[in-house]
Chains A and B, each alone.
Chain A
Amino acid sequence: MTAPSEDQILVSAALAGDNDSFNQLVERYQNRAYGLCFRMLGDADAAADVAQDAFISAYRHLPSLRGEFRPWLMRIVANACRDVLRSNKRHPSVSLDTNPRDEDESPVLQIADTTPNPEEHLMRAELHRTISVALLQIPLDQRTVVILSDIEGMSYDEIAVVTGANIGTVKSRLNRARTRLREIFVAAELFPTVRRLIADEET
Chain B
Amino acid sequence: MSTISHSDMSLLQALADNELPANQSAALRARFVTEPMLADAYSELALMRELMHDMPAARPARSLRLDSQVMQQARGWRWWLISPPGGQFLPALSVTVCLCVALLFGTGYDQVSTPDQLYLKGSVAAPMLADAPAEAATTDAARAADASVPLVAQQPEPSILPLLGVTAGLVGTVGSARWLMRLRKIHRKVV
Contact = CB atoms under 8 A, between A and B. Distances in A.
A137 interface: no
Interface string B43-68: 01101110111011111111111101
Interface in A1-48: 4, 8-9, 12-13, 15-17, 19, 22-23, 26-27, 30-31, 33-35, 38-39, 44, 47-48
A26 B57 CA distance: 16
Contacts, number: 132
B10 A175 contact: yes
Per DSSP, are chain B's interface residues mostly helix, strand or loop, or mixed? helix
A61 B78 contact: yes
Interface stretch (A78-86, A89-97, A106-114): A106-114
B58 A31 contact: yes
B76 A60 contact: yes
Nearest to B83: A17
A9 B61 contact: no
A15 B52 contact: no
B66 A26 contact: yes
B186 interface: yes
B187 to A, nearest CB: 7
Contact of A23 (B13, B66, B79, B187): B66
Given A31-B59, A182-B44, A182-B45, 12 more contacts: A15-B186, A16-B187, A17-B83, A22-B66, A26-B66, A35-B59, A52-B64, A56-B66, A59-B66, A60-B75, A109-B58, A146-B52
19 contacts: A8-B189, A17-B83, A19-B66, A30-B60, A31-B57, A44-B61, A47-B58, A60-B76, A61-B78, A63-B79, A63-B81, A109-B56, A109-B58, A127-B51, A150-B48, A150-B53, A179-B9, A185-B48, A191-B47
Interface of B: 1, 9-10, 13, 41, 44-45, 47-49, 51-53, 55-66, 68, 70-71, 74-76, 78-79, 81-84, 186-187, 189-190
